[in-house]
Structure 1
Amino acid sequence: MRRLLCTTLLFSAGLAHAEVPRVATDIAPIHSLVTMVMQGAGSPDLIIPPGASPHSYAMRPSEARAVAKADLVVWVGPSLAPWLEEPMSSLAQGAERLTLQDVEGIRLLTNRSGVAFEAHDHGDHEGHDDHDGHDDHAGHDDHEGHDHSAHEGHGDHEDHDHGAHEDHDHDAHEEADAHEGHNHAPGALDPHIWLDPQNAIVWLDAIAASLSAQDPENAALYADNAAQAQAQLVDLQADIQAELTPLRGQKFVVFHDAYHYFEARFDVEASAAISLSDGAAPSAARLAEVRDVVKDTQAACVFTEPQFNAGLVDALQDGTALKSASLDPIGAALEPGVDMYPALLRDLAAAFTSCLKE
C-alpha cells in the first residue's frame, strides 16, 4: 500500500510539473525577469546567449528547439530582434507571445537625432518623470499614470507598428543601412526598453498574468513572485536615484545611444553618441562632430562598451582629459538568472558614478 501511495504521489508530482509552461525568452535581462516570476515552478530558456547581438543572430539547434517547444515566448519585440519573428512563426506556431514593447503602461522613447541629440525631449513622452504612486505598487493592476494614451503619438500603439515606420525607412538613413537589425533612424522606437526599471516593474505583472493564464494552479505563486520582484526593483530604483542625483548636469558621451531609458529615468543625460549603432564604426566626420560636442560641453567622461575600439577615446581627447568607463546594455559578462537584471542596473549605476563623480 505504501509503495502504491508513493507511486501515486510521484505520478501526481510529475503531472503538476508537466503543467508548468515551457517558456522561451529573447535576451538575458528578460530571461532574468521571467526567472524571478517562475521561481518555485520552473525556469525559462534563453534564446540569445549573453554577448551575442540581439539585433541579428543565427540560433543554434538547441535554441531553435527551445523555441519549438515553447508554450510561451517572452520577447522585447520586433524593435529589438526583428529576425526572431520568422522562427517564432515557423517553429512555435502554437505558442503564446508576450511582446513586451506592446505592454500597456510602459514608457516608450524614440531614437534621438543628431550627433549632439538635438531632440532632447525623450520622444515627447511627457509627464512620466516622477511616476508617483509606484513606491507602494498602488495602481499596478491598472497601471494608473502609465497608459500609452498619455504618450503622445503612441495611443493604442498605432504608431508602433514596427514594420511600418514609413517616414523613417533605412533608405533615408545611410548609416542605418550599414547595420543589420533594429531601426536606428531618428524617430523610430528605441528598443532598449528594459533599461528603465519602471518598465520592468510593469512587465513583471504582465509576465505573471501570461504564465497564470496557462498555469492557473500556480497563479498565486506567480503573483507573489512578481510582487516580491517589484518590491526589490522599487528599492533598487530608489537606491540608484540617490546615487545618481548628485551627478545631474554632468556632461558625458556614450559609444552608441543605447542608454536613453536609463538616462531619462535617473535624469543623467548624454551629450552625444560616438556611433549611430553598436554595429557601425563612426565615420571621421562623425568623430569630428563628437569631438566638437566634447569641447563645447566640456564633457568629462566617455562611456565605452566591451567591444569598443579604445583608440576612438584618444581621437576625442583633443587636449582634454577624458575619463572613461565601460557600459554594457545587455549584461554580457553577467551570469543569466534571477539576479542578473538587478546586477545589470547596479553595474550601470556604478559605471556612471565612477566616471562622473568629481
Structure 2
Amino acid sequence: MSIFHDLVRFMLSFNMKLQYNDTIMSISKLICAIPVILLLLISQTAYSSSDINIVTTIKPLHGLVSAVVAGTNAKATLLIPANKSPHNYNLKPTDMRQLSRANVIFWTGTDIEAFMYNALGNPRIADKAINFSGLSGLTLLPRKALEGVCPNCKDKNDKHAENMQDIDPHYWLDPHNAIVMIDAISKTLCKLDPENIKIYTKNSLTAKTRLINLNKELSARLATVKNVPFLVIHNAYQYLQNRYSLNYLGAIVVNPGIGLSAKRLQKITAVVKARRPVCIFQEPQINSKVIANIQKQAGYDLYTATLDPLGVDLANDQESYFMMMHNLAKNIQSCLIKDPDHSN
C-alpha cells in the first residue's frame, strides 16, 4: 500500500486543480497501471541479477564455464592469456581489480597457479574463489608418478615447491574430471543466479553428454598408438596417459618456470637412447630449444610435435575445451603413428 500512496501523491502534486471526479478517475487509472509498473521493475531486477561476472584463471576452465553459461547474461572472463604459462605468471594490478570485481572465481589450485597466493590474502577475493582441485569426485594422480625420467628430482630453485601438494595439477585433461567440474560450475551458478537455473541445468547436462562422447572418441583414436613410447617437454599429460593407457616415458622439464640442469639433461639423454621414444612433444608456452639438443644426441630419427594443454589458438568460447582435447589426441596420434614398428 505504501507504493500506491506514493504514486498517488506524486500524481496529485502535478495536478492539484483536478476536480473530485477527475481525481477519482485518475486514481482508478493509476490503480490499473500499478501492476504494469511493478512488472517492469521486477523484469529489470531479474535482468540485473543474471548479469553474473565470472573469472576463470586458465582457458580450459573458461571453456567449461562458457558451456554452462551459454544463453544467459553471465559473463565469463579469462584471467591468463592462453599463450602464457600459469606456472610462472605474475598478477598485474588490472588482474587484481578483475578478481575483486568478480562474483565468483574458478581456479585450478596453487600447484599450478602459485600466483594466486597473494591474491587470496584479500578477503574480497578469497571468499568467492573456488579451487577445483578440492572437488569431491575428481580423479587425482600423485605428482611423483609423472617423473618417468627422474622419479626423485626436486628443484631447489623452485620457490613454490614447499607449498605444492603431492598431486599432478593438470587434472582437466581427463574428460571424467571435466564432468565433475561441470557439475560444480552449474551448482555454483544456480545458487548465484537462480532465475537461470533451468538454463544452467540444461547446459550442464548437454556438456556432460558431450564429454562422455568425447571420451569415447579419444579412446578409439589413441588406442591405435597406445604402445608407442614418447616423451614430453612438460609433465602435463599424466591424466591422458592414465585414462588412455599411453606409453609415456616421462617429462623433460619438472617445472616450466625453471631451467634444465646438465645432470637432468644427461639422464634424459640416457633414457632416450635406451628406450628410443618415437616422439618428443613440445608446447607453445615453453621454450623448447633443449629438444634440438636431445634430438642431436639421440642417434636416430626422433620426431617432434606440439601439444597444447591450454588451447592457445582457440577462440574463447564454449567449444574451446572440446577442440583442445580433440587436437591433443590428433597430434599425439599423428606423431606416434610415424613409427610402424611400435603401432598396434
Q: TM-score range by the shorter chain?
A: 0.7 to 0.9
Larger radius of gyration: 2
Indicate the residue corresponding to 1:221 in structure 2: 199
Q: Which moved more, 1:199-208 or 1:70-79?
A: 70-79
Find the aligned partners of 2:312 and 2:97 in 1 and give their Cα distance: 23
Match of 1:272 in 2: 250
Post-superposition offset of 1:19: 1.1
* Alpha-carbon shift at residue 311 of structure 1 (Å): 4.8
**1:103 matches 2:135:** yes
Task: Give the one of 75, 93, 102 matched to 1:70.
Answer: 102
In structure 2, do the counterparts of structure 1 residues 272 and 104 end up closer, same or farther at CA, with 3 Å as the change threshold? Answer: same
Contact 1:29 1:194 in 2 (8 A): yes
Q: Structure 2 vs 1, CA of residues 198 and 184 (structure 1 numbering), >3 Å: closer, same or farther?
A: farther
- Hey, what's the Cα distance between the residues in 2 that align with 1:222 and 1:349? 29
What is the CA-CA distance between 1:4 and the residue it aligns to?
Answer: 10
Which letter does structure 2 place at the counterpart of 1:24?
A: V
Percent identical among aligned pairs is 29
Q: Is residue 351 from structure 1 mapped to residue 331 from structure 2 by the alignment?
A: yes
Instruction: Identify the range of structure 1 (228-237 vs 302-311) with the bigger mean alpha-carbon deviation.
Output: 302-311
Whether 1:27 aligns to 2:33 is no
C-alpha distance in structure 1 between counterparts of 2:126 and 2:39, whole Å: 31
Does residue 1:262 correspond to 2:240, yes or no? yes
Gap change, CA 1:184 and 1:91, over 3 Å in 2:
closer
**1:236 Cα deviation (Å)?**
1.2
Which of 295, 318, 324 is the matching residue for 1:338? 318
What residue number does 2:289 align with?
310
Matched residue, 1:194: 172
Matched-pair contact (CA < 8 Å) for 1:115–1:286: no
Aligned to 1:161: none
Determine if contact 2:283/2:308 at 8 Å carries over to the other structure. yes
State the 1:94 CA deviation.
7.6
**Please, what TM-score do these two structures have when normalized by structure 2?**
0.79
- Of 25, 28, 44 in structure 2, the residue corresponding to residue 14 of structure 1 is 44
Q: 1:66 to 1:312 in 2, by over 3 A?
A: same
**Letter of the aligned partner of 1:75 in structure 2?**
W
CA distance in 2, matches of 1:94, 1:312: 40
Partners of 2:87 and 2:114 within 8 A in 1 = yes
1:143 aligns with: none
Q: Could you tell me how far apart the structure 1 residues matched to 2:198 and 2:146 are?
A: 48
Equivalent residues of 1:55, 1:180 under 8 A apart: no
Q: What is the CA–CA distance in structure 2 between the aligned matches of 1:28 and 1:183, rounded to whole Å?
A: 26
8 A contact 2:87–2:255 mirrored in 1: no
Name 2:20's counterpart in structure 1.
Answer: none
Q: Residue type matched to 2:57 in 1?
A: D
Q: How many Å apart are 1:353 and its aligned residue?
A: 0.8
Does residue 86 of structure 1 match 2:118?
Answer: yes
Which one-letter code corresponds to 1:296 in the other structure?
Answer: A
Q: Provide the aligned C-alpha RMSD in A.
A: 2.8
Tell me which protein shows more helix as a share of its residues: 2
TM norm structure 1: 0.76
SS at match of 1:55: helix
Count of residues in correspondence between the two structures:
303
| TM alignment of 1:132-281, pairs within 5 A | 175=155, 177-181=156-160, 188-281=166-259
Q: CA deviation at 1:118?
A: 7.2
Which region of structure 1 is more displaced relative to structure 2, 312-321 or 286-295? Answer: 312-321
CA distance in 1, matches of 2:150, 2:117: 33
Q: What is the CA–CA distance in structure 2 between the aligned matches of 1:342 and 1:188, rounded to whole Å?
A: 28
The one of 302, 305, 308 aligned to 1:325: 305
Question: Distance between the aligned counterparts of 1:218 and 1:25, measured in 2?
Answer: 20
**Is the aligned partner of 1:112 residue 2:144?**
yes
Contact (CA 8 Å) 2:70, 2:203: kept in 1 or not?
yes
Would you say the 8 A contact 1:55–1:181 is kept in 2?
no
Q: Distance in 1 between matches of 2:139 and 2:103?
A: 27
Deviates more, 1:283-292 or 1:193-202: 283-292
For structure 2, the 5+ residue unaligned runs are 1-28
Shift in CA distance, 246/23, structure 1 to aligned 2, threshold 3 Å: same
Q: CA separation of 1:218/1:113 partners in 2, compared to 1, >3 Å: closer, same or farther?
A: closer
